[in-house]
Structure 1
Amino acid sequence: MSKNKSSAWVKWMTLIIVAIAGGLITKLPYLRETYMAPLQQATGATKTQLGMLMSAYGIVNFICYFPGGILADKFSSKKLIIVSCIGTALAGFWYWTLPGFTALMIIHAIFAITTVFTFWAAMVKSINNLGGPEEQGKLFGFLEGGRGLMGTVVAFGSVAVFGMAADEVGGMRNAILYYSILLVAAGVLAAIFMKDDKPVAKTEKQANPLNRKDFLEVAKMPRVWLCGMLGICNYSALIFHGYITAYLSEGFGISNEVVANLSVIRTYFMMMVGAFIAGIISDKVGSRIRFIQYAFVGMAAFASLYVLIPAGPSAIPLIVANFICYGLCLYSIKALYFSTIDEVLVPKRLAGTASGVISLVTYAPEIFLYTLSGNMVDKYVGTATPLKGYQQCWIAMAVLSLVGFACGLVLRKMNAKAIAAAQAAGAEA
C-alpha cells in the first residue's frame, strides 16, 4: 500500500471510528429523550427528578469542558477515546442495576466526566488533526453526519431490544445493557484501528508544552469566544426546538405514533443530512463562518413561519415542511461548531483547548434552559391560550438566529483583520 493510500485509510478509519463512538457515547445520559415514561417506571423517579439528573449532568459538563480541552492537548486522543468509551460502559453497567436516586445522580456525574472531560475535546482534536483549514468543513460535517447515522441505527436497535422484554422495566434494562455493550465494542475498535496521535515531545523546539502561556493564549482570543457565541445561539435554539413534537401533537392533532417517528427524524436523520450538506457546501463557500451566517438566516425565517402558520389539521403539510427546512438549517450549523477553529487561526497544538472554550460557551444553556423552556410551555397549560408558550419558544428561536448572524458578521470582520495582520508580519494565514 502506498504512503498516500495508507494515510487516506488511516484518516477515514479514524473518522469512522470517532463518529461511531461519538454517536454512541451520549445515548445513556440522554435516555429520557426516548424513554421518558419507561425510565420513570424503571427508576421510580418523577419527571422533576429526571430533570434533576439532567441538571447534574449539565452542571458537571459545564465544569469539564474547559479542562477537558486542556487534557486533549496533553494526552493522546486515541487513549482518551478508549478510556471514555469503556468508562461510560462501566457506568452503564451500574445503571443497568437500576439503583436508587442518589446513585443515579452519581452515575450521571460520571457520565459527564466520561462523555465530556475525557471524550469531547479529544474527539474534536482527533478530527481537526486529520486535515488542513480547507478540509475542516468536510471533516466535521462527515463527523456529525456519521454520528447522526450511527444514532439513527442504534436508536432503532434499542427500540427492538426494548420490545423483547416482558415489561417496561425489563425493556429499560435491555436498552441500557445494549448501549453499554456497544460502547465496549467502540472502545475496542478505537484500540485496534485508531492511530496513536501522541503529543509532540517537549524537547522539540517547535512544540510548546502545555503551560499557562498556552492556556492564556487561547483564553485571550476573542475570536474563539465568538465561535462559542455562534454555538450558544444555535444550541439554545435546538433546546427550544425540542418542543416541536409536542406542538405538532397538541396544535395539529398528529398521532403519537407519527410524532414519535418525526422525533427520530428530528433528532437523528436531520442531524445526519444537515451535517453532510454543511460539510460539502461550507468548504465550497470558502468560509465555514459565512456558511453558518447563511444558515442562521434560514433559521430566523423558518422560526418566524412557525409563529405565522395557524394551528389546525389543515396546516399539517405546511408545518411539517417547515419542520424539515428549519431542522436542516439548525443541524447544518451544529455540525460546524468546531470546524471554525482553523479558520480563526488557532494553532493545531491548541485545538483541544480551543474546543474546550467553544464547548464551555456553547453548551452552557444545558444548565438552565431545559427548565426555563419547560416553564414557558407549562405556564399556559389549561388556559385559554394553551399554545402560547410554544409560540414564545419559536420567537426565542428567531431572535437567537438573528443574534447568531450578527456574531458571525463581527467574527468575520475580526478574522479578516487577524489574517491581514498575519500576512503583514510575513506569516501564513
Structure 2
Amino acid sequence: MSATDSPTDAPAEQSAPTEGRVRLDRAAKTTVGLLFLAWIVDYIDRLVINLALPHIGTEFGIDRTQQGMVLSAFFLAYAACQIPGGLLADRFGSKRILLWAMLIWSVFTALTGTAWSFAALVVIRVLFGAGQGIFPAAAMKAVAERTGSRERMTASGWISSSNSFGAVVAPLIAGPVIALWGWRMSFYAVAGLGVATFVLVQLLLPPARPTAQTEAAGGGGTRALLATPAMWLYVGMLFGYGMLAWGLNSWVPSYLQTERGLSLESSGLLTALPALFGGLAMIASGWCADRLKGRPAVLVAPSMTVAGVAVLAMTQAEGLVAFETLLCLAFAACTFCFTPIFAVPLRTLSTRLSGAASGMINFGGQSAGILVPMLMGYLADAYSFTVAFAVLALGAALTACLALLAPQTSETLRSRLGPAVRD
C-alpha cells in the first residue's frame, strides 16, 4: 500500500522499524486534516435527521416503526454502495470519487428539507445514502495512497474519530436551528457545509505517493478478494459493531425526548457527550492498532465485551446520570474497535485493492444500519425501548467472537489470501 509494502514485498511489519514514535509527513497531515473535516460534515449531514425525527413524525403522522424505516432507507443505499464505491475509487481514483460523493450528498441533504410526505422522504434518504455510500472506501484509499503502512492506522484513527466529533457538533448546530426555525431549515443549513468542504478538498488534497499510483495501475484481484473467507470475518466484525453504533446513534435522541421528557436542546447535549468520548477512544485505537500491528483479539474482543455489558446495564439504569455514564462507556468501548477492525487488511493489501477491501468491510457495518434502526423502532412500539436497546448487545457479542477467529497479523492474513490478491 506504500513504497515498501506491495504484496510481493516482505511484510510491512518486518521492513519498517518496530520502535519509535509514529510520525506523519506533511502530505499525510494535510490529507488527515481535510478528510477529518469532510467526514465531520458527512456525519453532521447524516445525523441531523436523528434530532429532527420526532418533529418529522409529528408533521407527517408516522409512528416509530415508520420513523425507523426512514432511517433504514438511508442505510439500504449506503450499504449497497460500499463495495461499488471501493471499486470506483480503485478504477477512477480516490479524489474524483470523494468529490462526487460530497456533491451528491450535499444536494440530497438540502432536498431532505423539501420532503412533502413519508414516501418522498424515504426516496430522498435513499439517494442521500447512495451519495454518502461511495465516500468511505474512497477516503480510506486516499489515506492508503498518502501514508506508509507503519502510520496508516494512526492516520485512519484520527480521520475515523471525526464520526464521533461530528456527532458532538451535529446537535449543537441542528438543535438550535430546529428549535428556532423548524426541522426543514436544519437540512438547508448543513448542506452548505458539504459544498464548502467540496471546494477545500478539490483545492488542497495532496497527490498520491508515486508508488501508490504505480501500484494502483496494476489492477486485478478484486474477485479473489471478495471470495476470501478470512476477509468476511472482518465484514462480520463490523456488522456487529454497526448494530451497536447505529442502534445507539439512531434512537438515543428520540428516547431521551420521548421517554425521559428532555427538551431538544438537552437531548442534543446529552447525545454529544458520549460521542466526544467515542472520538477520543477512536484516536487512541488507531495508535494502538499501529503499535500492535492489528491483533483484533487483543484490541477488539475485550473492548466490545465491555460495550455489550454497558448497554445491558444501561437498560436497567433508572437515573439519568447512571444512564448517561453507561452510554458514554458503551460509546467509547464500541468506537475503540472501529479502526482495529480494518487494521490487518489495510496493513496487508496493496493500494490497488485498498478501496475494494475498505468497501467490503464497511459493507458489514452499514448492512447493520439497514436492519437495526427499523428493528429497534418496531421493538420500541411493540415492547419498550428497554428491549430495543438490549438487543444491541447481540452485536457486541458477535464482534467479540469473530475478533478471536480472524487473522491477527498481516503474515497470518497473507497466508490465507489467494495468489491473485497477494501478487
1:421 CA displacement: 8.1
Distance 1:403 1:54, change over 3 A: closer
Greater shift, 25-34 or 325-334, is seen at 25-34
Aligned-pair distance for 1:163?
Answer: 4.4
Alignment of 1:21-420 (within 5 A): 21-40=38-57, 48-117=65-134, 119-165=135-181, 171-197=182-208, 209-210=218-219, 213-242=220-249, 243=251, 255-256=262-263, 258-266=266-274, 268-287=275-294, 289=296, 290-306=298-314, 309=316, 311-313=317-319, 316-343=320-347, 345-381=348-384, 390-391=386-387, 393-394=389-390, 396-412=391-407, 417-418=412-413
Counterpart amino acid of residue 140 in structure 2? V
CA distance in 2, matches of 1:154, 1:110: 21
Counterpart-to-counterpart distance in 2, 1:418 and 1:270? 31
Partner amino acid for 1:114? G
SS at match of 1:363: helix
The higher relative CO (CA closer than 8 Å, separation ≥ 6) is in 2
The answer as to whether partners of 2:74 and 2:129 remain within 8 angstroms in 1 is: yes
What TM-score comes out, normalization by structure 2 length?
0.80
Alpha-carbon distance in structure 1 between the residues aligned to 2:412 and 2:287:
27
TM-superposed CA distance for 1:77, in Å, is 1.5
What is the CA RMSD across the aligned residues, in angstroms? 3.4
Distance in 1 separating the partners of 2:379 and 2:119: 29
Offset of residue 335 of structure 1: 4.2
Counterpart-to-counterpart distance in 2, 1:262 and 1:140: 27
Give, in whole Å, the separation in 2 of the partners of 1:43 and 1:115: 25
Distance in 1 (CA, whole Å) between partners of 2:212 and 2:237 is 34
Q: Does the aligned pair in 1 maintain the 2:143–2:156 contact within 8 Å?
A: yes
**Pairwise CA distance, 1:143:** 0.6
Structure 2 CA distance for partners of 1:295 and 1:177, relative to 1, 3 Å: same
Q: In 2 relative to 1, CA 400–40 (structure 1 residues): closer, same or farther, beyond 3 Å?
A: closer
CA deviation string 1:32-53 (max 9, x = no partner): 2011133346667665554433
- Give the gaps of 5 or more residues in structure 1: 1-6, 166-170, 382-388
Give per-residue Cα distances to partners, 1:358-414, cap 9 Å, x unaligned. Answer: 122221122222222222232235xxxxxxx515632x3444323322211111368
Residue type of the partner of 2:196? A
Residues in 2 aligned to 1:19 and 1:247: alpha-carbon distance in whole angstroms: 29
Q: Which amino acid aligns with 1:158?
A: A
Contact 1:24 1:151 in 2 (8 A): no
Amino acid at match of 1:312: E
Q: Which moved more, 1:356-365 or 1:150-159?
A: 150-159
Distance in 1 of aligned mates of 2:198 and 2:139 = 13
SS of structure 2 residue aligned to 1:134: coil
Amino acid at match of 1:109: V
- Structure 2 CA distance for partners of 1:132 and 1:291, relative to 1, 3 Å: farther
Cα 1:23–1:239 change in 2 (3 A) is same
Partner Cα distance (1:273, 1:33) in 2: 22
SS in structure 2 at match of 1:35: helix
Q: How far does the alpha carbon of each residue in 1:109-139 deviate from its partner, in whole angstroms, 9 at most, with x for none?
A: 321221113x221112112233233323311
For residues 118 and 325 of structure 2, the distance between their equivalents in structure 1, rounded to whole angstroms, comes to 41
- Aligned equivalents of 1:208, 1:405: Cα separation in 2: 37
The answer to whether the Cα contact below 8 Å between 1:124 and 1:338 also exists between their aligned partners in 2 is no
Aligned-pair CA distance for 1:19 = 1.5
- Displacement after TM superposition at 1:352 (Å): 0.3
Render the CA deviation track for 1:316-360: whole Å, top value 9, x for unaligned.
5444332222221011113444334224x2222100001111122
CA distance in 2, matches of 1:44, 1:404: 37
Is the CA contact (8 Å cut-off) linking 1:74 and 1:199 kept in structure 2?
A: no
CA contact (8 A) 1:228 1:358 kept: yes
Which structure is larger by alpha-carbon Rg, 1 or 2? Answer: 1
Listed as ranges, the gaps of 5+ residues in structure 2 are 1-23
Change (3 A) 1:200 1:216: farther
Q: TM-score, normalised by structure 1?
A: 0.79
Q: Note if contact 1:77-1:196 (Cα within 8 Å) is conserved in structure 2.
A: no
Q: 1:226: Cα distance to partner?
A: 1.1
Distance 2:324 2:107 in 1: 40
- The share of aligned pairs that are identical, in percent, is 18
Aligned mates of 1:360, 1:391 — CA distance in 2: 26
Asked if the contact 1:338–1:358 (Cα under 8 Å) also holds between the matched residues in 2, the reply is yes
Count of equivalent residues: 394
Partner secondary structure for residue 312 of structure 1:
coil
